[in-house]
Amino acid sequence: MPILPRTVALWLMRLGLIAAVGVHIHAAYGLTILNHNARSVKYQSPRDYQVANFASRTMRWTGVIVVLFLFWHLADLTWGWWNGTGNDGVFVRGDVYGNVVRSFERVPVATLYIVANIALGFHLFHGTWSLFQSMGWNNPRFNKWRRYLAVGIATIVVVGNVSFPIAVLAGIVGE
């Protein structure tokens, strides 16, 4: 006898994640509007940025890429909005392993997954480092480790996620 009825724990986690996505988008939207209004007339000559990096400058775009990917990812592997026919192109509810393999065997799908996860990696890199500044977790004892931690977390997530489509495409994981 399970402790919780079927899908209860799953839905509790899903509700938590949906709430987090909602708060994240609300905060990003608010920040974008605030910062856009703070410089209503832009510089009329090119800026020469000194330390702002690719990750920090593209947070909005990597964020939009990740949220679009998120909906596509749900449609692909949770809702199963597949229009394929025949044995290879069929989404089977509950057959998680098979669905992943059949989805990633399509090269455009695997490519999209890899590109979106690289965007996620840049987003996480700047987000992790920013977390320390925004929360005021600043101490000369560990300050230099914040960038390493940001690189480490982004790398673990990207390498881990990208390994799935690569493993399927390389034939390491298959039916």
Residue 141 binding another protein, by CB under 8 A: no
Residue 142 binding another protein, by CB under 8 A: no
> Would you say 13 and 62 are in contact if contact means Cβ atoms under 8 Å apart?
no
Please give the single-letter amino acid code of residue 94.
Answer: G
> Would you say 71 and 64 are in contact if contact means Cβ atoms under 8 Å apart?
no
Q: Of 7, 44, 85, 87, which lies in the binding site for another protein, with binding defined by CB under 8 A?
A: 44
> Would you say 123 and 150 are in contact if contact means Cβ atoms under 8 Å apart?
no
Instruction: Give the binding range for another protein (CB under 8 A) out of 13-21, 32-40, 85-93, 158-166.
Output: 32-40
Tokens coding 53:
């990096």
Residue 43 binding another protein, by CB under 8 A: yes
Contacts of 28 (CB under 8 A, 6+ apart): 60, 63
Quick note: the x/- pattern for another protein over 64-103, rule CB under 8 A, is: ----------------------------------------
Binding site for another protein (CB under 8 A): 31, 34-35, 37-52, 56-57, 59, 126, 129-130, 132-138, 143
